[in-house]
Amino acid sequence: MIEKLKPEPAIQSSKDASKIIIEITGMHKWFGAFHVLKNINLKVSTGERIVICGPSGSGKSTLIRCINRLEEHQEGKIVVDDVELTGDLKNIEIIRSEVGIVFQQFNLFPHLTVLENCSLAPIWVRNMAKAEAEDLALKYLERVQIPEQAKKYPGQLSGGQQQRVAIARSLCMNPKIMLFDEPTSALDPEMIKEVLDVMVELAETGVTMLVVTHEMGFATAVADRVIFMDEGEIIEQKPPNEFFQNPEHDRTKLFLSQILAH
């Protein structure tokens, strides 16, 4: 709690990029008998933007969901912002309040207005005053360009608008890390762009981002590193240019040829 009293810089400067903010070592995860993640080793520096891709069922969503403990890993070690993820509920709640996640299905709270969706966590997790939290929420709603929808309920918005609200909701917690779990996969083609635009803009602020997506245009434009996963393993990771022009493994080449073919 003492740490949180210190004023946090709204934007993480890329100068401390040398600092490792996520460190995963020798991590394994099983769903029942099914071995979903195998020996994952990954270091992410502060401010780094990573795109994770791979065929469906390769474990990429599970991997990022392990980072805020929506999924529990069975072996190995995950350290987020110098806190190790264990069964300790207090640690988990602290890490979750520092790590934002945007889901494929938006998962907005349908019984609350857009403004309430965004101000809820600052009020109840950060103990912020209601008026202050609402100002903050409006600020981020402006940033995702839908302040005029603040009084509406999620069910009254389009998919693209809902996803932008979901991004604003996460940003209201001033997270150090943003996770995106296929944020555009449930959207109509016309709405994908409005969400990607917001994400590109967000990337420019320097927040650490891990994005599971098949939007290769986004990866090229924004990512510092592209990770390719298959069958629960990290097969290959490279800067986007190298990754697209010079893939090493046959599996990566096959994947790229399939998604770039159309």
Partner 1 sequence: MAEATETYKVGQHPDLPPPRSEVGVIGWVKYNLLSTPFNVIMTLLAIWFLWSIIPPIFEWAVLDSVWTAESRKACWAKMEVPEGAACWAFIKDRIGLFIYGFYPADLRWRVNLSFVLMVLAIVSVLYENMPGRKFGLWYAVAFPFITGWLLVGGLGLTHVDTDQFGGIMLTFIIGITGISFSLPIGILLALGRRSKLPVIRVLCVLIIEFIRGVPLIALLFIASTMLNYFLPPGTAFDLLLRVLIMVTVFSSAYIAEVIRGGLQGIPNGQYEAADSLGLTYTKAHLLIILPQALKISIPGIVNTFIGLYKDTTLVLIIGMLDPLGVGRASLADAVWAGLAREVYIFVAVFFFICCFSMSRYSLWLEKRLSTEN
List of residues contacting partner 1 (CB under 8 A): 68, 70, 93-94, 96-97, 99-101, 103, 105, 107-111, 120-121, 124-125, 153-156, 169-170, 173
Which segments of the chain are extended strands (E)?
Answer: 20-31, 34-45, 49-53, 75-80, 83-84, 99-102, 177-181, 208-212, 225-230, 233-238
Structure tokens at 177: 């890390």
Q: How far apart are CA 262 and CA 258, in angstroms?
A: 8
Residue placing its CB nearer to partner 1 in the complex, 29 or 96? 96
Contacts of 245 (CB under 8 A, 6+ apart): none
Closest CB 4 distance from partner 1, rounded Å: 11
Q: How far apart are CA 197 and CA 118, in angstroms?
A: 20
Closest CB 110 distance from partner 1, rounded Å: 6
Residue placing its CB nearer to partner 1 in the complex, 173 or 216? 173
Residue placing its CB nearer to partner 1 in the complex, 14 or 156? 156
Residue placing its CB nearer to partner 1 in the complex, 182 or 236? 182
Q: How far apart are CA 47 and CA 208, in angstroms?
A: 4
CB 255 within 8 A of CB 227: no
Q: What are the helix and strand counts (H, E) for the chain?
A: 10, 10
Closest CB 220 distance from partner 1, rounded Å: 28
Residue placing its CB nearer to partner 1 in the complex, 69 or 238? 69
Closest CB 166 distance from partner 1, rounded Å: 8
Closest CB 72 distance from partner 1, rounded Å: 12
